[in-house]
Amino acid sequence: MSWILARFREAFTENVGLKLFALAASIILFSLVHGAEDAQRSVFVDIVAILPAADSDRILVSELPDRVRVSLRGSRSLLNSIRREELDAIQVDLTDTDLSYYYIEPESFELPVGVEIVQLAPASIPLHYAERAEREIPVEAVINGEPGDGLSLSEPVVEPAQVLINGPKPEIDARQFIRTEALNIRGLGAGNYERIVRLDPAPAHASYPNGGSVTVRFQVVPERDERTLAGLEIVPVGPAARVRPTTIDVVVRGAPELIAGIDPDRLVPWVDSASEELSLGGTRPLIVELRGLPSDVEVVSIEPTEVLVTRVPGSATPRPISAPVPTGPAP
């Protein structure tokens, strides 16, 4: 047994230097042969598109790939030396709006000598152009939430009220308005507010030449209710007169508690029958005034605003107001 072990030891230790040299040479020779073998590899190269100028009458509306896959063939060592980040992006000139396809040429790529392109994907890009349009479109403010208790929001004012949009004519013509991103007013107290709000993103292939934001101004005010008071009888103030029609409808607005407390019987719609317009006789239209509203209540509308008044012949003395006149602002 010891004899066998001694023979094994001699086999590994005899001429060690020569054996190590032979092993290293074998490894080097294998690497050279293996590296010289043909192989294939795919890399991705970025695409930079040169689009038609902004003042062109046509605009590209087709989707473009952001990179192209390049399948390469060459020696393994050359392929392994190619780094994706070292490959320059290729420029795709799409300024000719008469093109239907753009063909990617292999000559567009800078590759080491000995490496050839086997396949490009995509090898061509379909192109679709549309007529360019530009117009101003109204802006609609989008409000989210409610202000604090007992408060309400006034009508928001958008500045500018219209924004310029540029893009494909079919998409621009179809737009009736442009919305803003949602403006949150949840829990706001009474006061005047101003916010800069971004517009919703422009449609595909369109843009806002003057910027994508607007200013929205609004007020948060005490809550106000409206109420319609129908059939209020008109009273001539002055000489006796006939009125047609004899009643009006009034819409008023104010704080809920004030609106609820209005007694229609204490309101006095009146016309001035002593007006000089009636001194010549005949019938004249006169504006209807209203007396008896609390000072913090506003008149939204009076319907009709004018009535026909005819002075009664022979009447010259003022006629007292027949309805009670509550405390309120003078006519």
CATH code, domain carrying 68: 2.170.120.30
- Using the Cα atoms of residue 283, residue 289, residue 292 and residue 293 in order, give the sign of their dihedral: positive
Cα 201 from chain centroid? 5
Cα–Cα distance, 119 to 108 (Å, whole number): 13
> Quick check: is 317 in a domain?
no
Same domain, 243 and 176: no
Same domain, 46 and 90: yes
Same domain, 301 and 250: yes
Q: How far is the first Cα of the chain from the last one, in angstroms, to the nearest whole number?
A: 135
Same domain, 98 and 155: no
CATH number at residue 158: 2.170.120.40
Query: In this predicted structure, what is the pLDDT of residue 138?
Result: 97
Sort strands 178-179 and 129-140 into parallel, antiparallel or unpaired. parallel
> Quick check: is 145 in a domain?
yes
Same domain, 49 and 78: yes
**Residue that the structure tokens 């003042």 belong to:** 55
Q: Residue 285: phi, psi to the nearest 5?
A: -80, 130
> Quick check: is 324 in a domain?
no
- What single string gives the DSSP state of each residue in 155-215? PPEEESSEEEEEEEHHHHHH---EEBPPEE-TT--SEEEEEEEEBPPPPTT-B-TT-SEEE
> Quick check: is 168 in a domain?
yes
Which domain-ending residue is among 127, 144, 173? 127
* Whether the Cβ atoms of residue 117 and residue 82 lie closer than 8 Å to each other: no
Same domain, 30 and 43: no
* Whether the Cβ atoms of residue 279 and residue 319 lie closer than 8 Å to each other: no
- State the DSSP code for 51: P
Same domain, 185 and 167: yes
Same domain, 248 and 192: no
Selection from 248, 267, 251, 252 nearest residue 305 by Cα? 248
Cα angle for residues 94, 97, 103 (degrees, 5° grid)? 45
Longest Cα–Cα distance of the chain, Å, equals 160
Same domain, 45 and 123: yes
> Quick check: is 326 in a domain?
no
Sort strands 283-287 and 306-311 into parallel, antiparallel or unpaired. antiparallel
**C-beta contacts of 278-284 below 8 A and 24+ residues apart:** 278/239, 278/241, 278/309, 278/310, 278/311, 281/311, 282/310, 283/308, 283/309, 283/310, 284/308, 284/309
**Residue that the structure tokens 């006034």 belong to:** 154
Q: Residue 154: phi, psi to the nearest 5?
A: -75, 170
Same domain, 281 and 253: yes
pTM beyond 0.95 = no
Burial of 214 (0-12, 13-18, 19+ CB in 10 A): buried
- The residue segments making up the domain with residue 15 are 2-36
Q: What is the pLDDT along the chain (331 residues), one digit of tens a residue?
A: 565 655 555 555 565 565 555 555 555 544 544 444 568 888 999 999 999 988 889 999 999 999 999 999 988 888 888 888 778 899 999 999 999 999 999 988 888 888 889 999 999 999 999 999 999 999 999 999 999 888 889 899 999 999 999 999 999 999 999 999 999 999 999 999 999 999 999 988 999 999 999 999 999 988 888 999 999 999 999 888 889 999 999 999 988 889 999 999 999 999 998 887 777 667 889 999 999 999 889 999 999 999 999 988 765 545 454 444 444 443 3
Which domain-ending residue is among 73, 106, 127? 127
Same domain, 257 and 212: no
> Quick check: is 325 in a domain?
no
Which domain-ending residue is among 222, 237, 267? 222
> Quick check: is 320 in a domain?
no
Structural domains in the chain (count): 4
Same domain, 236 and 213: no
Q: Determine which helix (DSSP H) or strand (DSSP E) holds 21, and give its type and residue range.
A: helix 16-36
> Quick check: is 327 in a domain?
no
Selection from 59, 13, 256 nearest residue 151 by Cα? 256
Query: In this predicted structure, what is the pLDDT of residue 143?
Result: 94
Query: In this predicted structure, what is the pLDDT of residue 325?
Result: 43
